[in-house]
């Protein structure tokens, strides 16, 4: 599985994401600088990492979403290529219009940095095929602006179409419908606020995040 | 010429920062505050003749997120 990790100025979880991808796929991912207007050929997965790109100036992910590379990422997504946005990457995906809704300041105003309980709400996406439907997992979060919001019509549509992939199983940030991660209507673009790449090794605290990447390898080769 | 863009959360969108400011003002003893909402001011120094339509396009393209924000443009 050939993957790329996009690096924006201020991204700081790009190398963790690369480690997870290398560890699970056996193939070194390509690191792509945000000013590159083209992506490498033959990618199976494009990953947008966590961090504080552009210092979260204006709005988290707002300026990253308008970077030169994002034109190529949007094209790849529209061609059905798999795209994974983690934390700041999820924010970039909503700002780029690849996913609906927006991520706002956490309802409790705190930066939340701890392992949280998640429920796998949809185990039929390539990202979640190695989880069981309804399975509860623990994944770390580290964010200040993870409060997912969208209008009721959008939320109802996400629910009705099974596009809510992960839900918080405990109070974390006030997200509508406890949404932790969603996919687009074609199911090839996933955005989630938790950091699966931080929990891929039992020797380092747990491995509940590993199966997200294993599911992708199984689906994409 | 100068333009001042004020970006605010849409009515009905939760504004915990506004509520925190409200609580702090209450704590300082200011009475009679019904609600506080916090927004952003973006000041633009523009070439003479820049149209409101162009500033509006900047707002829609970047300065405001239409999912949760609304904006107002004033020219100085």
For chain B, the domains span 2-75
The pairs formed by A75-80 with CB atoms below 8 angstroms and a separation of 24 or more are: A76/A39, A76/A43, A76/A46, A77/A46, A77/A184, A77/A188, A77/A189, A80/A186, A80/A188
Which pair of structure tokens corresponds to residue B41? 């001011």
**Candidates A13, A34, A130, A197; catalytic one:** A197
Whether B14 and chain A come into contact, CB under 8 Å, resolves to yes
Report d(CA A128, CA A192) in Å as an integer: 12
A9-43: b (≥16 Cβ within 10 Å) or e: ebbebbebbbebbeebbeeebbebebeeeebeeeb
Best of A105, A108, A149, A176 to disrupt the B interface (most B CBs within 10 Å) is A105
Tokens, residue B1: 């010429």
CA distance A207 to A176: 27
Strands A189-192 and A82-86: parallel
Partner-chain contact B65 A147, CB within 8 Å: no
Which residue of B16, B36, B70 to mutate against A (max A Cβ within 10 Å)?
A: B16
Q: How far is residue A103's CA from residue B69's CA, in Å, rounded to a whole number?
A: 12
Residue A101 has its nearest CB partner, among B14, B62, B67, at B67
DSSP letter string, A115-179: EEEEEE----STTTTTS-TT-EEEEEEEESS-EEE--HHHHHHHHHTT-EEEEESS-SS--GGGE
Predicted local confidence at residue A15, as pLDDT: 98
> How close is the nearest chain B Cα to the Cα of A99, in Å?
12
CA quadruple A196, A202, A208, A210: dihedral sign: positive
Is the Cβ of A106 closer than 8 Å to some Cβ of chain B?
A: yes
Q: If one looks up domain B2-75 in CATH, what number appears?
A: 3.30.1280.10
Distance from CA of B24 to the nearest CA of A (A): 14
Which residues in chain A are contacts of B61 at CB distance < 8 A? 66
Q: Where are the alpha helices (DSSP H) in B1-76?
A: 16-27, 52-58
Give the number of C-alpha atoms closer than 13 A to the C-alpha of residue A120, restricted to the C-beta side. 23
The pLDDT of residue A206 is 95
Q: What distance in Å separates the CA atoms of residue A52 and residue A61, rounded to the nearest whole number? A: 8
Using the predicted structure, report yes or no on whether residue B71 has a pLDDT greater than 90.
yes
Q: Min CA distance, B19 vs chain A (Å)?
A: 10
Dist. CA B29–CA B4, nearest whole Å: 32
The reply to whether A87 belongs to the active site is: yes
Residue pair A182/A149 in contact by the 8 Å Cβ criterion:
no
What is the ipTM score, two decimals? 0.86
**B20 shares contact with chain A (CB less than 8 Å):** yes
Tell me, what's the pLDDT at A174? 97
Q: Quote the CA–CA distance of B62 and A67 in Å, as a whole number.
A: 12
Q: Is B54 on the interface with A (CB under 8 A)?
A: no
Q: Is A3-220 CATH 3.40.50.1820?
A: no
Residue B68: which of A66, A102, A106 has the nearest Cβ?
A102
pLDDT band at B12 (very low <50, low <70, confident <90, very high): confident
Residues from chain B that touch A104, judged by Cβ atoms under 8 A, are 13-14, 68
Question: What is the enclosing helix (H) or strand (E) of A91?
Answer: helix A88-95
Token reading at B59:
């707002």
The shortest CB-CB distance from A109 to any of B13, B20, B62 is to B20
- pLDDT tens across the length of chain A (221 residues): 999 999 999 999 999 999 999 999 999 999 999 999 999 999 999 999 999 999 999 999 999 999 999 999 999 999 999 999 999 999 999 999 999 999 999 999 999 999 999 999 999 999 999 999 999 999 999 999 999 999 999 999 999 999 999 999 999 999 999 999 999 999 999 999 999 999 999 999 999 999 999 999 999 98
Q: Which strand ranges, in their side-by-side order, compose the sheet holding A3-7?
A: A30-33, A3-7, A45-48, A82-86, A189-192, A179-183, A164-168, A112-120, A136-143
Inform me whether the C-beta atom of residue B65 falls under 8 Å from chain A C-beta atoms: yes
* A197 is annotated as an active-site residue: yes
pLDDT at residue B76, as a whole number: 83
Interchain contact B62–A (C-beta under 8 A): yes
Domain boundaries, chain A: 3-220
| Average pLDDT, rounded, for chain B | 95
Helix axis angle, A210-220 relative to A14-25, nearest 10°? 60
- CA atoms of A40 and A106, how far apart (whole Å): 36
Q: Give dist(CA A30, CA A196) in Å, integer.
A: 19
């Amino acid at each position: 599985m050939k993957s790329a990790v996009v690096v924006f100025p201020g991204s700081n979880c790009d190398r963790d994401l690369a480690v997870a991808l290398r560890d699970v796929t056996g193939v070194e991912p390509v690191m792509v600088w945000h000013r590159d207007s083209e992506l490498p050929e033959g990618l199976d997965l494009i990953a947008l990492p966590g961090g504080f790109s552009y210092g979260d100036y204006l709005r988290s992910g707002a300026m990253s979403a308008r970077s030169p590379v994002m034109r190529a990422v949007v094209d790849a997504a529209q061609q059905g290529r798999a795209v994974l946005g983690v934390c700041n990457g999820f924010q970039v995906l909503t700002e780029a219009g690849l996913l609906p809704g927006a991520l706002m300041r956490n309802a409790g105003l705190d930066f939340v940095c701890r392992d949280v309980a998640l429920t796998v709400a949809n185990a039929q996406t390539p990202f979640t095929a190695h989880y069981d439907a309804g399975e509860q997992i623990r994944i770390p979060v580290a964010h200040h602006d993870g409060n997912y919001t969208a209008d009721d019509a959008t939320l109802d549509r996400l629910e009705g179409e099974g596009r809510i992939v992960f839900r918080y199983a405990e109070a974390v940030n006030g997200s509508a419908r406890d949404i932790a991660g969603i996919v687009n209507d074609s199911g090839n673009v996933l955005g989630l606020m938790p950091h699966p790449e931080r929990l891929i090794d039992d020797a380092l605290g747990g491995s509940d995040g590993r199966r997200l990447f294993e599911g992708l390898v199984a689906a994409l080769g | 010429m100068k333009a001042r863009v004020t970006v605010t959360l849409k009515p009905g969108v939760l504004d915990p920062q506004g509520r925190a400011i409200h609580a702090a003002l209450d704590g300082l003893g200011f009475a009679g505050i019904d609600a506080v909402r916090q927004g952003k001011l973006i000041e633009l120094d523009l070439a003479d003749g820049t149209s409101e339509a162009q500033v509006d396009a900047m707002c829609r393209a970047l300065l405001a997120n239409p999912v949760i924000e609304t904006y107002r443009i004033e020219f100085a």
